[in-house]
Amino acid sequence: MLPSSKKQSKMKGSYQEFSDERFTQLYPKAKELMRCFNVKEEFLPLFLRYKNRFWDSLEYWVLPPTVQARIKDRSVVLSPLLGLASVESPMPEYSLDWKSICQGKTLKEYWKEDIKKLSKELFEGKTVFLFVGKQEENLLDLSTASQIVVFEYYRAKQKVKNPLPHRAYTLRYIAEKDLSLDELFKINFYDYKVEKVERKGKRLKVLLRSEGRYI
């Protein structure tokens, strides 16, 4: 599960219809929002449109095709405009977040029922890797997932307050090495290494720590 991004590229895209077949049932509501906020239908692939520290650090566009395919096929992305999307979904530019209001509702309220219903169906019997913060996690229904994996990062003795790039590097490592659930202890980037993996019920918390030399 990958995060949304309020910061976005202003690059102009091509005029086209939505074409991601995974979430066509959400498009009528997404188009309603586009009219509400006067969003232009100029689309770029989501991975080029999103520009926060997670998406910039992921650098999806430079990854080998096999790694891109793993991320694309196994990922769902949250979007205040589209609800749920794929890594390569056509995405217009919009400066919105979950607190933005249309017709008296925040976008969190607008999408919450749809996202919970779809995530419950999508996650049934699956292991879900969460690369989102608490606010976006609360939009999801994780009740049917078989296992949930989350990550915590510590720089020396301090917990990292903005882990967006760290989550991106973690996802890249998992996808590049095609790691299984039993191989998470192998994750390392810069000087971050897995210190321990804790299990509480069906939730696994992977704790990574660095000496504080880099990010």
Residue-level pLDDT at 12: 83
Mean per-residue pLDDT of the chain: 94
Pair 170, 151: CB distance under 8 Å: yes
What would the pLDDT profile of 9-33 be if each residue is shown by its tens digit?
988 887 666 666 789 999 999 999 9
Residue-level pLDDT at 135: 95
Strand ranges, E, within the chain: 43-45, 77-79, 83-85, 90-92, 101-102, 105-106, 127-129, 147-155, 158-159, 188-189, 192-200, 203-210
The 10 Å Cβ neighbour count of residue 118 is: 20
Mean pLDDT over 51-58 rounds to 97
Residue-level pLDDT at 18: 62
> CB-based contacts of 60: which residues, under 8 Å, 6+ apart?
47, 68, 71, 87
Residue-level pLDDT at 15: 64
| φ, ψ for residue 121, nearest 5 deg | -70, -45
What would the pLDDT profile of 175-207 be if each residue is shown by its tens digit?
999 999 999 999 999 999 999 999 999 999 999
User: Distance between CA atoms of 59 and 181, rounded to whole angstroms?
Assistant: 24
Q: ∠ at Cα 104 (99, 109), nearest 5°? A: 50
The amino acid that residue 68 corresponds to is Q
Mean pLDDT over 130-151 rounds to 98
- pTM of the full structure: 0.94
Mean pLDDT over 59-77 rounds to 97
Decide the pairing of beta strands 158-159 and 188-189. Answer: unpaired
